[in-house]
A and B are shown apart, each in its own frame.
Chain A
Amino acid sequence: MSLSLIYHFQSSQNQDGDFKPSRYKVVYFFSEQGFLEDSFMREMSKTIPDADHFGLTFLSLDDLKGFALRVAQELNSPEVRLISVQDYNIGLDGARDLASLKNVFSQFGDLVMNENNSRKKGFFGKLFT
């Protein structure tokens, strides 16, 4: 089961002395089985320091990747693809139908491998490398 995460970079804001740093927000996070439950994602985000658990925003791309990897480990997924909403939109520009929409998730973004999952090869996995 592979996972896909679309995120949005929110630039910093400074209004009336109230400074909000830039953050990376989870827009969509799903597998072939469907979208992940909000409550589950909030629980997983608690493993990342300084994450906004309710809004699902993270201070850095590394934090976002850490969150995505944590989810992949929890769901025994071998990998998770992170795509910025800008890249997703570029992919959509060229898509015409369902098939080309699906291709966006193999052509764009960064793939983060779940090393823990690839290590758990099992008996047969150890035979076939």
Chain B
Amino acid sequence: MSYLNDSRSESDLTRPGEQWFFYWKTSAALWESRILEFAQSEIIFIPIYWGFHAENATTWDFGDLLAERDLVRLSKLLTQHGRKFSWILPLTPAPFFPNGGVPISSARTLSISPEGSHVVALDQESKLNKMYSYFEPKVFSSFVQFLNSLGQFLTAHHIKAPCWGLKFYYRHENDRCSYLYDRSLAFEQGFSRYLKSNFPQGVELGSAAEEEKFKSNFLSEVQDLFRTAAESSLGSFWSGVQEVLVLGGSPKETLERGLTEGKTQFHYFQDLFDVYIKSQWLSSSLLTPLEKNQLLPKFLTEHFGNAEIEERYHYQINSGDLNQDMRPYSLIDIVTDENCQHFQTNGLLPFLNQHYRWLYHMHPSLNFTTEWIEGHQHQVKFFHGSSMDRTRFGQMLKLFMMGQQIVLDKTGLHPDLEKRLQIFYLENNLKIQSVNFLTSITLCTLGEGRFFAFEGKRLDDHGERAKFWENLFVYLNLTQPEVVADNDVFSLWRIRATSASDLNYIDVRRVNVYNPTSYKKRVLIHTKKHFAFMKMIDPQRAEARTTSQGVEIELLPFGKIALDFGHYEEA
């Protein structure tokens, strides 16, 4: 059942979103009826509330003592009704569990956020969940005991469902922060032990920044401990790790959501689009029914719905070729580390946010599979020298040789890789063209592939750098309708192959436009050459009319509309 036809009552707390099922939120006698409310085709994801299964400090119950812990009963119900399902195991505190999921016997020290406050989140019932520190030694030993019991339990009962480890994050200063982050006494004591163990001769922490770096390494190692413990205990059930941003789950948002105005749809849309372009995943499980209204559920269904879920969790891999199903569309892939500051200072991101809003994706790693490469054949790939290692460097050159368009900012490129680049040019007999426009640029081609390299450092905070990017993008000649709208109107593009009933188009592109404000908005879509308006889909509080330049849309407050355009080549 999609949110568009969502008839669940406000009290249905068991289905908080993204096809999750909160089994502990209702009597076991009601599980069957709740499960049947999911569409047959939807995979059901079951977060394991590990603290709930703790009968005491050393005993774990999976249904012998309390029916609501009976995971055998649950899995049998799912199987009986032909439902695919997957377990979700939190590898960090999880804000939708009381105590973050930690059993009462291990819940000793509350976590401290970067701002110094406790880490708390309001759940969908407006109850306050407080995160307990995972750096308390008892938590890890308790977690390992639970994992051993869980692994044995799943094996003994032949419950053949995959288990995904999930790391949860919250929004923090235009970035994200792990729920594992902590600066409580438990953390400081653990950090002290870590230093003594790793640096028996002692270590001098010269500055606050250096100390933070050591603390960050310590946090990563602890995160890895939880992951490897899970992987080891769950063996063949283990499917891997996903990272999830929890909407509305930061300490600041907890306060904001408690205010009279609450967190606005507009601010949630800002978060959603940030998650989208950063290729991240999300959970809306904390949001109350009142918050999850208007455009939010529609957007979630359209862009984080069943198809996206199946691809994220590897149930379905999109082949390189387009088919009749709409899939996300972008023009640009930016391969960067978590800190995308480089592309901010060289001006690429400001330029894209002005001219190609939400038409790009950021990737912390390169998904170098056949399906991904073929599916992203036409996207221009941007790389940065400072986040380049030998593997990524080799993959970048391979993409170029496969006929893709590559743009490399050489700032920070290791001298060895610079040498390898020169050798690559020579070995492949590539003719290099050099241009000087605000900085030095080189270009070479190989078949359909084009490789641009430039010294981005000279663009850093340069007043005229926008011209550099304008000229580069003119040269790249990207074919796409232009959306002209206020900054508080959101739009995403999707693409599909043509069908027999379509005219002789190359492909069909759909733009979904959303107005999450309480003001009327006007949007212009300039089709330019190569695009013909086909139809509008599901206008809600919106109207569209064709003009000589394309299409003009009028969106009422909280209105949305989708428009299809056929892409053609001029003779």
Contacts and interface: CB of A to CB of B under 8 A. Distances in A.
Interface residues of B, number: 23
A8 B128 contact: no
B116 A92 contact: no
Interface stretch (B257-265, B343-351, B383-391, B460-468): B257-265
Q: Is the interface of B mostly helix, strand, loop or mixed?
A: mixed
Interface string A63-88: 00000000000000000000001101
A97 B128 contact: yes
Given A15-B207, A34-B261, A92 B127 contact: no
Interface string B105-131: 000001000011110101001111010
Given A13-B208, A85-B116, 16 more contacts: A8-B115, A16-B207, A27-B117, A28-B115, A30-B256, A32-B259, A34-B261, A35-B256, A89-B118, A92-B120, A92-B128, A92-B130, A95-B128, A98-B128, A100-B128, A102-B258
B113 to A, nearest CB: 9
Given A33-B259, A96-B128, A97-B128, A16 B116 contact: no
Contacts of A89: 110, 116-118
A62 interface: no
B327 interface: no
Contacts of B130: 92
Interface size range on A against B: 20 to 34
Contacts of A8: 115-116
A98 B126 contact: yes
A6 B208 contact: no
A37 interface: no
Interface of B: 110, 115-118, 120, 122, 125-128, 130, 206-208, 252, 254-256, 258-261
Given A16-B206, A89-B110, A89-B118, A28 B127 contact: no
B126 A34 contact: no
A28 B127 CA distance: 21
B157 to A, nearest CB: 36
A85 B128 CA distance: 18
Contacts of A15: 206-208
A101 interface: yes
A98 B116 CA distance: 20
Nearest 3 A/B pairs, CB to CB? A98-B126, A85-B116, A32-B260
B115 A27 contact: yes
A55 B70 CA distance: 51
Contacts of A88: 117
Best-surrounded residue of B116, B254, B259, B260 (most CB of chain A within 10 A): B116
